Homo-oligomer: A and B are copies of this chain.
């Protein structure tokens, strides 16, 4: 039995079932795959329903007083992505509706940018958004949907204002699945962290994640050599007698130097696994949006590849993520068999959701709740403030991109043309000794035309990277409200400790355990924040240097060109 969470309208001919919010369904087949479940309604009609649109009643056991219904793998899988997202208590609630984060740039398209000959198209201008009501879970192995539908569905949203993406969601099943909030259930188990705070037995063995105290405070364990990989060589493949096509990328890790091939859907699968496993402790940024399109196929592929590279590099740089079994599988599987086996194993992993904290072992004394709370508050404030700052840069940068590729080159072109036109007029004067001036004026005019071209092409060389970096950070920062939400919920629970003991909801011993575990969580958050800060400093240093370097070159080249033009005039 299941309850329908949101209205869903069946697409004719697709074997789907129209359902209404609040309706009760009987699950007839839970193993359809591709984000679908087969269900029967009260009128006996059977059809497919997106699994994220319904809530299995098995979850109800959590609404009772018992929170220790652990050990049921299915349950874990259903619950783990459900940490306190979208509960309305989050101060950054605008983000909750925007889990796509980085890729969710529904900037207005640039009508001016296409005027001059070879302008650099604003790669963010044609980003369209999956409409929440237009949910179409990708059918298994449907590469057409995976890779190409996006290109057809562009437009319509491209012109919408660049807000904070409120209400717009990433269109995949995994994203909407985060909407199934456990907070609807009253009582003690209203949020996920208790699973970890009160669980009887912590995971033992090889999967332990140590935290050390470094110079900057708690830090993850960093391997001697940092993993990296190269995403390259996109190749178009096809299936079903050429009816369906897909792009396969070659990923070469720095460790093995042996390339593996993956399609976008495999990246998406990896993202799902990483989000399930680490999402409570580590912000896992969304993949580049499916809807990122270019005007041309090559542009689209290039842009997606560039962003997949950015995403993979960021994952490689994370010591916890990069050393995880699932990530290693993705990078180093040897054959189809190993890949499929590894895939199955990863999908059955039980240490997911808040249970990731059970594997963390800080080599440091417990922190008291006040400090835990302060740290959490501080991180919350910082990430919120940085999100604002990053968005401001993106807005300003977008405006600048439009001006640099639109009106500015047109204006310099017109200045160039005006000089050249006057030069031709002068040339027709019939007056002798005119040629030095007319040649010089023509050269000056051509110089301004070159400058026009330079303006149009410059954003690709510098602003692009500034935008991409900030865009990546926007995505990353968009994950923090969820991550921090888990911590806040845990802190709140620990704060209630005495009351829970008094009302016999927990034992005094459990209260002590909770305090210890929230301290472990805090170490994890601090290690993660320190990781974030060190990466941030590196990334912004690098991108600002690159930006300014290119800007210096740009203005120096203009000055040099103008100096040359100046030299052609007679000195009197």
Residues of A whose CB lies within 8 Å of any CB of B are 215-216, 378, 381-382, 385-386, 388-390, 392-393, 396-397, 399-400, 403, 407-408, 411, 414-415, 417-419, 421-422, 424-426, 428-434, 436-437, 440-441, 444, 529-530, 533-534, 536-538, 540-542, 544-545, 548-549, 551-552, 555-556, 558-559, 562-563, 565-566, 569-572
Within the complex, the shortest CB–CB distance from A42 to chain B, in Å, comes to 53
- 28 A-B residue pairs with Cβ-Cβ distance under 8 Å, sorted by A, are A382-B428, A382-B429, A382-B430, A385-B428, A388-B425, A390-B422, A392-B418, A393-B419, A393-B422, A397-B415, A399-B411, A403-B411, A419-B544, A431-B537, A434-B533, A434-B537, A437-B541, A440-B544, A444-B548, A542-B572, A545-B566, A545-B569, A548-B563, A548-B569, A555-B558, A555-B562, A556-B556, A559-B559
From B403, B430, B552, contact of A562 by CB (8 A): B552
| Assembled-state Cα–Cα distance A570/B542 (Å) | 8
**Closest 8 A/B residue pairs (Cβ):** A548-B566, A555-B559, A431-B533, A389-B422, A556-B559, A389-B425, A385-B425, A545-B569
Known: A385-B428, A400-B411, A552-B563. A393 touches B378 (CB 8 A): no
Within the complex, the shortest CB–CB distance from A244 to chain B, in Å, comes to 44
| Assembled-state Cα–Cα distance A392/B429 (Å) | 18
| CB <8 Å contact, B389 and A421 | yes
| Assembled-state Cα–Cα distance A87/B422 (Å) | 29
Q: Tell which of A388, A396, A434 has the most Cβ of chain B within 10 Å.
A: A396
Which B-chain residue is minimally distant from A410 (CB atoms)?
A: B399
Within the complex, the shortest CB–CB distance from A476 to chain B, in Å, comes to 14
| CB <8 Å contact, A382 and B425 | yes
| Assembled-state Cα–Cα distance A551/B448 (Å) | 11
Which B-chain residue is minimally distant from A534 (CB atoms)?
A: B431
Within the complex, the shortest CB–CB distance from A460 to chain B, in Å, comes to 17
Within the complex, the shortest CB–CB distance from A527 to chain B, in Å, comes to 13
| CB <8 Å contact, B422 and A396 | no
| CB <8 Å contact, A566 and B541 | no
Which B-chain residue is minimally distant from A423 (CB atoms)?
A: B389
Chain A interface helix/strand/loop/mixed: helix
From B415, B437, B540, B571, contact of A437 by CB (8 A): B540
Within the complex, the shortest CB–CB distance from A351 to chain B, in Å, comes to 29
Q: Tell which of A216, A382, A441, A551 has the most Cβ of chain B within 10 Å.
A: A551
| Assembled-state Cα–Cα distance A422/B397 (Å) | 14
| Assembled-state Cα–Cα distance A152/B213 (Å) | 75
| CB <8 Å contact, B572 and A538 | yes
Within the complex, the shortest CB–CB distance from A525 to chain B, in Å, comes to 13
Known: A556-B559, A572-B542. A530 touches B431 (CB 8 A): yes
Q: Which residues of B contact A530 (CB under 8 A)?
A: 431
Within the complex, the shortest CB–CB distance from A406 to chain B, in Å, comes to 11
| CB <8 Å contact, A572 and B403 | no
| Assembled-state Cα–Cα distance A385/B440 (Å) | 19
From B388, B396, B408, B415, contact of A415 by CB (8 A): B396
Given contacts A378-B430, A389-B421, A552-B566, 11 further A-B contacts (CB under 8 A): A386-B422, A389-B418, A389-B424, A396-B415, A396-B418, A400-B411, A431-B534, A545-B571, A548-B566, A549-B566, A551-B562
From B392, B422, B566, B570, contact of A422 by CB (8 A): B392
Q: Which residues of B contact A424 (CB under 8 A)?
A: 389
Which B-chain residue is minimally distant from A394 (CB atoms)?
A: B418
Q: Which residues of B contact A548 (CB under 8 A)?
A: 444, 562-563, 565-566, 569
Q: Which residues of B contact A388 (CB under 8 A)?
A: 421, 425
Which B-chain residue is minimally distant from A543 (CB atoms)?
A: B569
| Assembled-state Cα–Cα distance A358/B408 (Å) | 54
Q: Which residues of B contact A440 (CB under 8 A)?
A: 541, 544
Q: Which residues of B contact A434 (CB under 8 A)?
A: 533, 537
| Assembled-state Cα–Cα distance A313/B541 (Å) | 56
Q: Which residues of B contact A215 (CB under 8 A)?
A: 432
Q: Which residues of B contact A558 (CB under 8 A)?
A: 555
Q: Tell which of A390, A425, A440 has the most Cβ of chain B within 10 Å.
A: A425
| CB <8 Å contact, B425 and A386 | yes
Q: Which residues of B contact A565 (CB under 8 A)?
A: 548
Q: Which residues of B contact A425 (CB under 8 A)?
A: 382, 385-386, 388-389
Q: Which residues of B contact A408 (CB under 8 A)?
A: 403
| Assembled-state Cα–Cα distance A422/B537 (Å) | 12
From B382, B386, B393, contact of A418 by CB (8 A): B393
Within the complex, the shortest CB–CB distance from A414 to chain B, in Å, comes to 5
Q: Which residues of B contact A556 (CB under 8 A)?
A: 555-556, 559
| Assembled-state Cα–Cα distance A191/B355 (Å) | 103
| CB <8 Å contact, B382 and A396 | no
Which B-chain residue is minimally distant from A565 (CB atoms)?
A: B548
| CB <8 Å contact, A216 and B433 | yes
Which B-chain residue is minimally distant from A571 (CB atoms)?
A: B545
Q: Tell which of A378, A408, A544 has the most Cβ of chain B within 10 Å.
A: A544
Q: Which residues of B contact A571 (CB under 8 A)?
A: 545
